[in-house]
Chain A
């Protein structure tokens, strides 16, 4: 048993890193799956009402979506393999508890893949109105599927729907596991994050193109539609985040202590902002001069006690430094994005009062370019906060990560391989999208793109050239 434990801990570090890389990479593509179809739908419907620029934009975006979805399908398949290959101890004990969510998610992913295929191949094959409607199942399946995946993660934070009797998992209630306490706010938080990521990233791309001298109306449309989505989601996010944080205060008080860098439990706890958690204490932070603010934020009561790290033995505490830093970054970026939305709103209102159409100035465009990657970083640091903050547990309070990990000796090798492959894939995706953008700007209309419809097959040509093929 002792030997087993040593081997297991060898795989723990690379396995956690590999899972972080796989999830962190896939989640960006998943954001596009969740929210991009809705944006495409908006411009496609506009195009059907006679706006040719919007129709062309929908066509271009459908090709982008096809590429991102296909790569996302592949990285999603890798994740489902990794659930078992990296965490057999989790799947063995709880695979059946969380499995229904995955099974239903599999069906919604199927629907998503099928209808996105119909949409991408529907240009010229389906009548316009019906064609645009094939996006609706994609949108619905994206919402449902991501809800189910988030429900599994929320279940790991607030496990329910089973009992443990003599070490055996019994009385499994799959529906209760899906509809656990943490899922609603966590899902809302993630959905808004996805809208922000896709909204700012796509708007940022078009802002960059406008800054580089593109002038067509199609580019302004490409800026405004995703930016409008992001502007709706961004101001709501801090509010949802606040309530999600209150759930954490109830479900996982130690995670909250790590987030705040609170070492000792205290009543009337004050809120410390920023700083780094080094050598067991928070350094360089700024205390907000409202006594009991943290208590109020966590419990709606300025005098309420807030649990500190000292409430549990050291081996049940997460790595506080990472959690606190990641959380600080997420909140800092999130609030900056709210300020950016405020800026957009003020400008828009001013233009409206003057009776003009709003056009973004260069400084605002530059800010939107930065907002794209910033939103991605905010989402990733949010995931780091919740995932690292749950450690050492893989299922909070029930199963330790070190007891769930594989004992395979080669996880460093698979991790290294994945780093190389995903780096190459990331490069290829960006290069392909940039090349598509250049060719569109140069006036090409019928691009051949990865996963898009092929060029019409010239069968005459096929014929003549096949004749000299030796059999």
Chain B
């Protein structure tokens, strides 16, 4: 493994963690959106507040981590993406701002009307960000981000692969969030709530599976390079994802929600890692290889050092935060 590979792996680890934790976070917004009117949806919305409140901020630092690694380790790829995919990046950024604000202020507002406004902002913007980040992934994967050419505003990210990426991102986020929320409700002994969320998650999971299978068609036609990568080197990970996905569905059906949580993380994680493996050795598929995009070796060593520090400092403290957030206060 070369130094370039090591940095690329670190970056992709960041993408995977963001897809899982940030994804579950965004997905909970979709649950919020579909929870029903103020009275019926109240318990589910309170559960969402309760579950993501302590951790959402840390979840989103992964995005900053990925961006910084991208522009430092692979500056030409970063600049090319920013030029070709400006619009989806702006829209994803807008979603991030509105979502943070909507989430914060909904909980605080005291009148139902404003709570509803803030809640709608929170929920709708939860859809926007994963969708547009998904289209960006699709654009890179289908080789639509050139290095030295101008592109139009739309075509790099309005195409079959990008749309598939956007839809899959929203669906998997919803699925993950559902599994996490069901497990949280179960932990709080709100069995009925856990039941409802688990049942619906099962439905979402079946849709995710169907879209993933049907998605093979546009991928094969529209993104040949990554398709061949996914079906060769990436194939074991696709199989793993399918197995873990099925396990999640079975665990959901049998209400073994802690198992479902682990299996869902494996299912989503292996899809994302599979994308990385399928795309290797390209930074921008068909346009720029990782080696050609990479910064010089002192910079890459610096990033490797930063990765080591992150593993040493961030991982244990993040774990402690998750444990703390899972614990109910003594005074309650």
Interface residues of chain A, those whose CB is within 8 Å of chain B, are 67, 69-71, 73-78, 80-81, 83-85, 88-89, 91-100, 102-107, 109-111, 113-118, 120-126, 137, 170, 172-175, 406-410, 414, 417, 421, 424-425, 428, 432, 435, 448-454, 456-457, 459, 461-463, 465-471
Contact = CB atoms under 8 A, between A and B. Distances in A.
Contact of B107 (A123, A435, A450): A450
A75 B94 CA distance: 10
A448 B108 contact: yes
B137 to A, nearest CB: 16
A93 to B, nearest CB: 8
A466 B196 contact: yes
Given A117-B325, A449-B108, A456-B328, A103 B72 contact: yes
A81 B189 CA distance: 41
A137 B317 contact: yes
A463 B50 contact: no
A5 B58 CA distance: 41
Given A96-B296, A454-B50, A469-B196, A73 B57 contact: yes
A33 to B, nearest CB: 12
Contact of B83 (A88, A105, A125): A88
A435 B109 CA distance: 10
Interface in B91-137: 92-94, 96-98, 100-101, 103-105, 107-108
Contacts of B306: 100, 103-104, 106-107
B161 to A, nearest CB: 22
A463 B186 CA distance: 11
B42 to A, nearest CB: 7
A417 B310 CA distance: 35
B47 interface: yes
B48 to A, nearest CB: 10
A37 to B, nearest CB: 15
Contacts of B253: none
Given A81-B93, A103-B69, A450-B105, A462 B53 contact: no
Nearest to B105: A428
A432 B196 contact: no
B128 to A, nearest CB: 13
Contacts of A124: 329-332
In the complex, the 4 A-B pairs of residues with the closest C-beta atoms, listed nearest first: A99-B72, A456-B332, A450-B104, A96-B295
A78 B93 contact: yes
Interface string B72-91: 11011011011100110110
Contacts of A461: 43
Given A172-B299, A414-B90, A84 B79 contact: yes
Interface residues of B, number: 84
B54 A466 contact: no
Contacts of A467: 192
A73 B174 CA distance: 23
B56 to A, nearest CB: 8
Interface of B: 36, 39-40, 42-44, 46-47, 49-50, 53-55, 57-58, 60-61, 63-65, 67-69, 71-73, 75-76, 78-79, 81-83, 86-87, 89-90, 92-94, 96-98, 100-101, 103-105, 107-108, 153, 185, 188-193, 196, 199-200, 295-296, 298-299, 302-303, 306, 309-310, 313-314, 317-318, 320-321, 324-325, 327-332
A116 B75 CA distance: 32
* Chain B facing A: main interface SS: helix
Contacts of B309: 104, 107
A71 B101 contact: yes
A172 B97 contact: no
A91 B303 contact: no
A172 B298 contact: yes
A172 B69 CA distance: 16
Contacts of A425: 97, 101
A67 B107 CA distance: 12
B228 to A, nearest CB: 30
A128 to B, nearest CB: 12
A334 to B, nearest CB: 32
A173 B100 contact: no
Contact of B54 (A76, A96, A98, A121): A121
Contacts of B40: 465, 468-470
Nearest to B312: A107
A172 B303 CA distance: 13
A92 B75 contact: yes
Contact of A70 (B100, B199, B331): B100
B317 A111 contact: yes
B330 to A, nearest CB: 5
A410 B107 CA distance: 34
17 contacts: A67-B104, A73-B60, A73-B61, A84-B67, A88-B83, A106-B65, A107-B314, A110-B314, A114-B317, A124-B332, A432-B104, A450-B108, A456-B329, A457-B50, A459-B190, A467-B192, A468-B40
